């Protein structure tokens, strides 16, 4: 379900802790070129929370978004099953994940809940499903179902 209404949540709830994890990770953003600082936090199906921040590079193109940093950190820790991701950036309109991150999240996270929140209000500003943000996704199903090779 997609919602653009902020939902107040109990302090200390898993969602609020996930938001805090994303906000804390954002503090470590390396964004000297864009000055656009992003934090993300993934929650595993067992309740673990792993944060990430964007890490820019002087080549620009080698920059990695907060969402992929969080995901790759989680995978390196042996996590493979995810429930939701929180993304925080200081924008009036909630910042959604870029197209590349949507694709990579789909590969590992499936139809995650994607929660956009604001680092100052610490509130949720929008909730999506990844399948809504990445309709008709390409994934490994197509590789195994491909037509007979020549």
Residues annotated as catalytic are: 67
Segment near ligand THU (CB under 6 A); pick from 58-66, 71-79, 115-123, 137-145: 58-66
Phi/psi of residue 109, nearest 5 degrees? -105, -15
Which residue, 22 or 38, has its beta carbon nearer to ligand THU? 38
For ligand THU, what does the binding mask look like between residues 24 and 53, x meaning CB under 6 A? -------x--x-x-x---------------
Residue choice 66, 115, 130, 133 for contact with ligand THU (CB under 6 A): 66
Q: Which residues contact 52 (CB under 8 A, 6 or more apart)?
A: 25, 39, 40, 41, 42, 66, 67, 68, 69, 70, 71, 72, 73
Q: Which is nearer to ligand THU, 98 or 107 (CB)?
A: 98
C-alpha span between 62 and 113 (Å, rounded) = 27
Shortest Cβ 100–ligand THU spacing (Å)? 9
> Contacts with ligand THU in 69-128 (CB under 6 A)?
87, 95, 97-98, 101
- CA–CA dist 75, 73 (Å, integer): 6
**Burial per residue of 141-150, b for 16 or more beta-carbon CB atoms within 10 angstroms, e otherwise:** eeeeeeeeee
| Positions that interact with ligand THU (CB under 6 A) | 31, 34, 36, 38, 54, 56, 63, 65-67, 87, 95, 97-98, 101
């Amino acid at each position: 379900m997609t919602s653009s209404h902020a939902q107040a949540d109990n302090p200390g709830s898993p969602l609020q802790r996930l938001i805090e994890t994303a906000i804390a990770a954002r503090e470590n953003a390396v964004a000297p070129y864009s000055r656009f600082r992003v934090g993300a936090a993934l929650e595993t199906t067992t309740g673990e929370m792993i944060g990430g921040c964007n890490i820019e590079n002087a080549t620009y193109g080698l920059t990695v978004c907060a969402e992929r940093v969080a995901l790759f950190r989680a995978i390196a820790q042996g996590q493979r099953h995810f429930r939701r991701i929180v993304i925080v950036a200081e924008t009036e309109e909630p910042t959604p994940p870029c197209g590349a991150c949507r694709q990579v999240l789909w590969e590992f996270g499936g139809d995650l809940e994607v929660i956009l929140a604001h680092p100052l209000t610490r509130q949720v500003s929008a909730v999506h499903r990844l399948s809504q943000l990445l309709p008709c996704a390409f994934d490994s199903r197509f590789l195994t179902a491909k037509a007979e090779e020549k």
